[in-house]
């Protein structure tokens, strides 16, 4: 127990920063940190190679889940949309639920965010891209990407919805899962960039 607490305490400032960047509220970020501690207590640490990485991924996933589910108008929340690193033995039903959660969360981004906001929000919050790297993907400045991230949070809260193309939704889900589970970030980057007017012509 002492070792577990020491590892968590060392990571706590970073966990709070990760959650605060996603949620934009210190109180909500602290709630995520506390939930991360509970997950850490229950985790089978024999499978955890890097406690620091495990804690950071868990905090980021919980924060993303919180910000998306808070603004959904459906009765059921969006649910976790990144793989739960603490659950190594998930059955078919659990995996199916996760697939539904990813579908719902990404549909929300398609409904409420512009292509530039979506690219910035997804790369920043889900994959922890620095703004300089997002700028390389989007061909925008890092300052513009910071503004887009703020606008994305406001747009998610506003509740305005656009029609979602079913084929575009399927492509985004496949690309996201390929990046989250298999590490194929380049395909996700290309898909997000192709939706941006200023560079789409170069990618055809």
Task: Find the helix or strand (DSSP H, E) in which 174 lies.
Answer: helix 166-182
Domain that holds residue 45: 1-70
Instruction: Give the Cα separation of 190 and 113 in Å (integer).
Output: 18
The set of residues, in sequence order, having a beta carbon less than 8 Å from that of 158 and lying 6+ positions away, is 112
Structure tokens at 33: 């940190």
Inside any domain, residue 59? yes
The set of residues, in sequence order, having a beta carbon less than 8 Å from that of 112 and lying 6+ positions away, is 71, 155, 156, 158, 159, 160, 161, 162
How far apart, in Å, are the Cα atoms of 45 and each of 18, 40, 90, 181? 22, 8, 16, 20
Alpha-carbon radius of gyration of the chain: 17
Whole-structure pTM value: 0.58
What is the percentage of the chain residues whose pLDDT exceeds 70?
Answer: 75
Over range 41-45, report the average pLDDT.
79
Over range 152-166, report the average pLDDT.
80
Instruction: Kindly write down the DSSP assignment for every residue of 101-139, as one continuous string.
Output: HHHHHHHHHHHHS-HHHHHHHIIIIIH---HHHHHHHHT
Please tell me the least confidently modeled range out of 48-52, 72-76, 165-169.
Answer: 72-76
Please indicate whether residue 86 or residue 159 has the higher confidence score (pLDDT): 159
Instruction: Give the Cα separation of 25 and 119 in Å (integer).
Output: 22
Last residue of a domain, one of 38, 70, 102: 70
Instruction: Kindly write down the DSSP assignment for every residue of 8-20, as one continuous string.
Output: HHHHHHHHHHHHH
pLDDT at 198 over 80: no
pLDDT at 182 over 80: no
pLDDT at 88 over 90: no
Mean pLDDT across the chain: 76
pLDDT at 164 over 50: yes
Burial 152-186 (b: 16+ CB within 10 A, else e): bbebbeeeeeeeeeeeebeebbebbbbbbeeeebe
> What's the pLDDT at 120?
94
> What's the pLDDT at 90?
43
Please tell me the least confidently modeled range out of 65-69, 90-94, 181-185.
Answer: 90-94
Residues 120 and 24 in one domain: no
Residues 104 and 150 in one domain: yes
pLDDT tens digits, 97-129: 455 567 777 888 898 899 999 999 989 888 878
pLDDT at 3 over 80: no
pLDDT at 55 over 70: yes
Residues 125, 148, 129, 165, Cα dihedral to 10°: 70
Residues 118 and 193 in one domain: yes
Q: Tell me the CATH number at 46.
A: 1.10.1740
Q: How many domains does the chain have?
A: 2
């Amino acid at each position: 127990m002492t070792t577990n607490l020491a590892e968590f305490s060392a990571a706590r400032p970073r966990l709070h920063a990760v959650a605060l960047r996603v949620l934009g509220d210190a109180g909500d970020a602290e709630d995520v940190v506390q939930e991360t501690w509970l997950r850490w207590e229950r985790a089978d640490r024999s499978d955890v190679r890097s406690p620091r990485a495990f804690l950071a991924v868990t905090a980021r996933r919980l924060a993303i889940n919180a910000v998306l589910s808070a603004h959904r108008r459906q009765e059921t929340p969006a649910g976790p949309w990144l793989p739960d690193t603490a659950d190594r033995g998930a059955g078919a039903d659990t995996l199916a639920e996760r697939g539904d959660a990813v579908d719902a969360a990404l549909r929300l981004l398609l409904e409420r965010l512009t292509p530039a906001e979506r690219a910035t929000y997804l790369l920043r919050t889900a994959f922890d891209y620095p703004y300089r790297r997002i700028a390389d993907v989007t061909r925008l400045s890092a300052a513009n990407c910071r503004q887009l991230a703020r606008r994305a949070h406001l747009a998610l809260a506003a509740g305005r919805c656009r029609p979602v193309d079913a084929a575009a939704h399927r492509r985004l889900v496949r690309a996201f899962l390929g990046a989250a589970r298999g590490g194929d970030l380049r395909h996700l980057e290309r898909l997000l960039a192709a939706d941006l007017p200023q560079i789409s012509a170069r990618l055809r």
